[in-house]
């Protein structure tokens, strides 16, 4: 029964995160121009839609350095409209309500009472599968008296000669936040493996 509650809590939080993401998109015209005010007033309305987890203010507002580089963004050369657009992409679309997600994050600690359902491929039973760790894992565990789960699958998919992708699903809780990911990616490594 505790395992069912772990999944139900995750689902209910997913609905709440979806509503917060929608509210983050709608409130962006208020949050972004007044971001200095919201940062000073931690736990205020606008603070929940900001990102305080990066190393500097530029990264918190306009995306971390890796994301900006991969998207060809040089924030120093942007005018105010371009900066607003980049901030919208980072704050409202890519990381909506990031501070809120970290505020309701799973408890931190050492997992115990681990129940492994599936552990195939690279990594351990509690290691999410990703671009470098292939396979499937599904496990329940407890941290500080609260039950959580992790489910992930990572595999290469080839459909005839036209569709060569890497499929990654990550669900459950990490050490930092709740995870809701399902993505297809196409990178050099995937193309080389599937060729």
- pTM, two decimals, is 0.81
CA distance to 2, 5, 103, 106, 185, per residue, from 13 (Å): 16, 12, 12, 11, 26
**Six-digit token pair at 13?**
């939080």
Q: What is the DSSP string of 130-194?
A: -SSS-EEEEEEEEETTEEEEEEEEEEEEEETTTEEEEEEEEEEE-SSSEEEEEEEE--HHHHHHH
Determine the Cα–Cα distance for residues 100 and 135; give it in Å rounded to an integer. Answer: 31
- pLDDT per position as a tens digit, 66-90: 899 999 999 999 999 999 999 999 9
Model confidence at 193, pLDDT cuts 50, 70, 90, reads very low
* 79 within 8 A of 97, measured Cβ to Cβ: no
* 108 within 8 A of 116, measured Cβ to Cβ: no
Please name the residues in contact with 109: beta carbons below 8 A apart, sequence gap of 6 or more: 143, 144
- pLDDT per position as a tens digit, 13-68: 999 999 999 999 999 999 999 999 999 999 999 999 998 888 889 989 998 898 99
Spell out the domain ranges in the chain. 2-103, 112-194
* 100 within 8 A of 20, measured Cβ to Cβ: yes
Sheet holding 178-185, edge to edge: 112-121, 135-143, 146-159, 163-173, 178-185
């Amino acid at each position: 029964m505790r395992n069912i509650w772990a999944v139900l809590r995750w689902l209910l939080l997913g609905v709440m995160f979806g509503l917060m993401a929608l509210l983050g998109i709608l409130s962006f015209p208020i949050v972004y121009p007044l971001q200095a005010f919201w940062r000073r007033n931690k736990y205020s309305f606008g603070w929940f839609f900001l990102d305080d987890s990066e190393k500097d203010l530029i990264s918190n507002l306009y995306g971390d350095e890796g994301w900006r580089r991969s998207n060809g963004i040089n924030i120093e050369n942007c005018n105010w409209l371009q900066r607003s657009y980049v901030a919208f992409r980072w704050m409202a679309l890519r990381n909506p309500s990031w501070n809120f997600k970290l505020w309701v994050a799973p408890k931190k600690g050492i997992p115990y009472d681990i129940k492994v359902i599936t552990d195939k491929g690279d990594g351990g039973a509690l290691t999410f599968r990703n671009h470098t760790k292939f396979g499937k894992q599904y496990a329940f565990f407890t941290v500080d008296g609260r039950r959580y789960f992790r489910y992930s699958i990572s595999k290469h998919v080839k459909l005839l000669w036209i569709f060569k992708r890497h499929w990654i699903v990550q669900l459950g809780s990490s050490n930092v936040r709740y995870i809701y990911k399902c993505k297809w990616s196409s990178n050099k490594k995937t193309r080389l493996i599937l060729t």
